[in-house]
């Protein structure tokens, strides 16, 4: 997988440009911003990490998570995700044009992984629910496996919910936080790249736990500030962009968050494949960028094999910025 496959530079930069305009609009009303403690561990002690487009990202002293604070209120974010131009661009042009690459490289392997996790941990897995189902690609790939009796999407965005419905799937058109206790009782839940966007990750994760029957499992992915490309590029990282990405939690922070949500962490890994490619592409766009000496030296060699080897090292040692968690709800 290459960065250009799933987010071609021209499309991604157009998306970021729209996001910048949206951010100015949303963050311009500073009176609506609210300060929050670390969304991962709850610590209030922090230092200013990055300021970008007028949004302050704090670095938690307790767990080293990077998080936007003060941040737009939950209501302002809800409105943003319904109406903002960058959100519309993402769900129309961006996702549509990269959908098939994403299906093959991202969603098909995820569906297989979920089936494996269910096979390992559950006696039966009838109902699978995908939180933030978007285009319905995961639902399609999960249904195609034939191992689950029923797949259900949860999607608060009306346009995206309609797309998943048009593909023949049942969709609950709500934010997961608004689903009543007991309304959904799933054997397994998935949630890909949503955690970094939400106002309150703890409440969000507790809501996912509520969807699960006792003993049920969930597979989640998000971005982590512990990862290589974010650590190296820091304020230049395209993963640090308001108002979309509010929570770039560290590995330690994610572990704390899972425990606070009352879930058991079965595994936390960083299977990301793009860190080195992202840094290489950022340098290509801006050759004047200052990199740590070691990283500049490594890239200057232009040795594909050693870079691939380094990416594997990042994966194996939880140093990639793409993190995957498998969690379980207690039996009783």
- Does the protein bind Zn ion through residue 257 (CB under 5 A)? no
Piece of the chain touching Zn ion by CB under 5 A; list 19-27, 55-63, 122-130, 133-141? 55-63
Q: Please choose, from the candidates 74, 56, 65, the residue with its C-alpha nearest in 3D space to the C-alpha of residue 260.
A: 65
With contacts defined by CB under 5 A, how many residues of the chain interact with Zn ion? 9
- Does the protein bind Zn ion through residue 60 (CB under 5 A)? yes
Backbone angles phi, psi at 179, to 5 degrees: -80, 130
- Does the protein bind Zn ion through residue 240 (CB under 5 A)? no
State the minimum distance, in angstroms, from the CB of residue 45 to Zn ion: 9
- Does the protein bind Zn ion through residue 41 (CB under 5 A)? yes
Q: Which is nearer to Zn ion, 25 or 61 (CB)?
A: 61
Q: List, in order, residues 6 or more apart from 183 with CB less than 8 Å away.
A: 172
Backbone angles phi, psi at 155, to 5 degrees: -155, 115
Dihedral sign computed on CA atoms, order 298, 304, 306, 308: positive
- Name 209's bridge partners: none
Hey, which residues between 62 and 91 contact Zn ion (CB under 5 A)?
62-63, 65
State the minimum distance, in angstroms, from the CB of residue 60 to Zn ion: 3
State the minimum distance, in angstroms, from the CB of residue 43 to Zn ion: 5
State the minimum distance, in angstroms, from the CB of residue 55 to Zn ion: 18
Q: Tokens 């966007």 correspond to what residue?
A: 197
- Does the protein bind Zn ion through residue 38 (CB under 5 A)? yes
Q: Which is nearer to Zn ion, 2 or 206 (CB)?
A: 206
- Does the protein bind Zn ion through residue 254 (CB under 5 A)? no
User: What is the largest distance, in Å, between two alpha-carbon atoms of the chain?
Assistant: 56
Q: Which is nearer to Zn ion, 256 or 329 (CB)?
A: 256
Q: Which is nearer to Zn ion, 113 or 265 (CB)?
A: 265
State the minimum distance, in angstroms, from the CB of residue 257 to Zn ion: 9
Q: Answer whether 229's CB lies under 8 Å from 279's CB.
A: yes
- Does the protein bind Zn ion through residue 43 (CB under 5 A)? yes
- Does the protein bind Zn ion through residue 173 (CB under 5 A)? no
Q: Which is nearer to Zn ion, 45 or 116 (CB)?
A: 45
Tokens of 47: 């230092």
Q: Which is nearer to Zn ion, 253 or 272 (CB)?
A: 253
Buried b / exposed e over 161-182, threshold 16 CB at 10 Å, is: bebbeebebebbbebbbebeee
| 147 three-class SS | coil
Piece of the chain touching Zn ion by CB under 5 A; list 33-41, 50-58, 80-88, 152-160? 33-41
- Name 323's bridge partners: 222
Q: Which is nearer to Zn ion, 225 or 324 (CB)?
A: 225
CA 75, CA 117: separation in Å to the nearest integer? Answer: 35
Q: Please choose, from the candidates 199, 266, 262, the residue with its C-alpha nearest in 3D space to the C-alpha of residue 37.
A: 199
Q: Which residues bind Zn ion (CB under 5 A)?
A: 38, 40-41, 43, 60, 62-63, 65, 253
């Amino acid at each position: 997988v290459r960065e250009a496959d799933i987010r071609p530079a021209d499309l991604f930069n157009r998306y970021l440009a729209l996001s910048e305009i949206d951010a100015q609009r949303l963050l311009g009303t500073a009176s609506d911003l609210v300060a929050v403690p670390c969304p991962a561990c709850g610590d209030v002690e922090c230092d200013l990490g990055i300021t970008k487009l007028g949004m302050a990202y704090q670095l938690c002293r307790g767990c080293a998570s990077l998080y936007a604070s003060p941040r737009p209120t939950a209501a302002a974010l809800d409105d943003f995700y319904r109406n903002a131009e960058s959100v519309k661009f993402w769900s129309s042009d961006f996702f549509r044009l990269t959908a098939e690459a994403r299906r093959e490289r991202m969603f098909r392997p995820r569906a297989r992984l979920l089936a494996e996790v269910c096979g390992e941990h559950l006696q039966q897995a009838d109902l699978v629910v995908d939180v933030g189902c978007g285009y319905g690609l995961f639902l399609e790939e999960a249904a195609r496996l034939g191992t689950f009796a029923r797949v259900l999407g949860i999607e608060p965005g009306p346009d995206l919910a309609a797309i998943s419905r048009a593909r023949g799937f049942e969709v609950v058109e709500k934010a997961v936080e608004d689903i009543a206790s007991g309304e959904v009782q799933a054997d397994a839940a998935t949630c890909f790249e949503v955690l970094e966007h939400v106002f309150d990750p703890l409440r969000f994760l507790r809501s996912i736990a509520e969807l699960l029957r006792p003993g049920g499992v969930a597979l989640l992915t998000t971005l982590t500030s512990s990862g290589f490309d974010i650590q190296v590029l820091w304020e230049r990282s395209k993963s640090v962009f308001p108002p979309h990405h509010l929570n770039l939690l560290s590995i330690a922070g994610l572990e704390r968050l899972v425990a606070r949500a009352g879930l058991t962490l079965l595994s936390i890994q960083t299977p990301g494949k793009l860190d080195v490619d992202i840094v290489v592409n950022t340098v290509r766009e801006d050759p004047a960028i200052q990199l740590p000496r070691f990283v500049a030296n490594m890239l200057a060699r232009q040795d594909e094999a050693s870079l691939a080897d380094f990416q594997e090292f990042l994966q194996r040692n939880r140093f990639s910025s793409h993190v995957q968690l498998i969690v379980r709800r207690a039996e009783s």
